[in-house]
Structure 1
Amino acid sequence: MAKKYDYRKLRGRIKEVCGTQEAFAKGIGRSYPFISYALNGKAYFGQNDIEASAKLLHISSDEIGEYFFKSKVHKNETTSKQENV
């Protein structure tokens, strides 16, 4: 199964700096559908995408991992049944 990333922080930065995902896509030379797919885990950001995004969004090289490589945590719920005897 492919690894899933949590892009919430990236989405916030895109909104803060660019306003819209469309403006962000244009700013890094990508299409809006690609950005939408990538942010929804259906495509991956390549090295060039990450470098262009970091420059446009003023993300330092030390912060790139927080925006592009934070693993998505899945909450597993377990239920226990108590039997009355």
Structure 2
Amino acid sequence: MAKKYDYRKLRGRIKEICGTQEAFAKGIGRSYPFISYVLNGKAYFGQNDIEASAKLLRISSDDIGEYFFNPKVHENETISKREEV
């Protein structure tokens, strides 16, 4: 099963800095449908997308993990030690 990420913090930052996902998509040279797919877990950001996003959203390299690699956990699930690695 593909790993799912929680993009709530990223969505908040996009709204704070860009206003809309459409403006964010344009700012990193991507289409709105692509951004929508990624934020809904149907596609993934590539390294170039992450770098462009971090620059546009003023996210430090130390904080990239919090925005792009935060594991999604369902209310009735926990992350096992094996999945954390």
Aligned AA for 1:76? Answer: N
- State the match for 1:35 in structure 2: 35
- State the match for 1:83 in structure 2: none
Greater helix proportion: 2
The secondary structure found in structure 1 opposite 2:62 is coil
> What fraction of aligned residue pairs are identical, expressed as a percent?
91
Aligned AA for 1:11? Answer: R
For structure 1, the 5+ residue unaligned runs are 78-85
1:74 Cα offset (Å): 1.3
Q: Which runs of 4+ in 1 moved over 4 A?
A: none
- The equivalences for 1:67-78 within 5 A come to 67-76=67-76
| Alignment TM-score, normalising by the size of structure 2 | 0.88
- State the match for 2:81 in structure 1: none
The secondary structure found in structure 1 opposite 2:42 is coil
1:36 Cα offset (Å): 0.1
In structure 2, C-alpha distance between the alignment counterparts of 1:15 and 1:74, rounded to whole Å: 24
- State the match for 2:22 in structure 1: 22
For structure 2, the 5+ residue unaligned runs are 78-85
1:75 Cα offset (Å): 1.9
- The equivalences for 1:25-64 within 5 A come to 25-64=25-64
Please say which structure displays the higher CA radius of gyration: 1
1:76 Cα offset (Å): 1.8
Aligned AA for 2:54? Answer: A
Question: What root-mean-square deviation, in Å, do the aligned CA atoms of Structure 1 and Structure 2 show?
Answer: 0.9
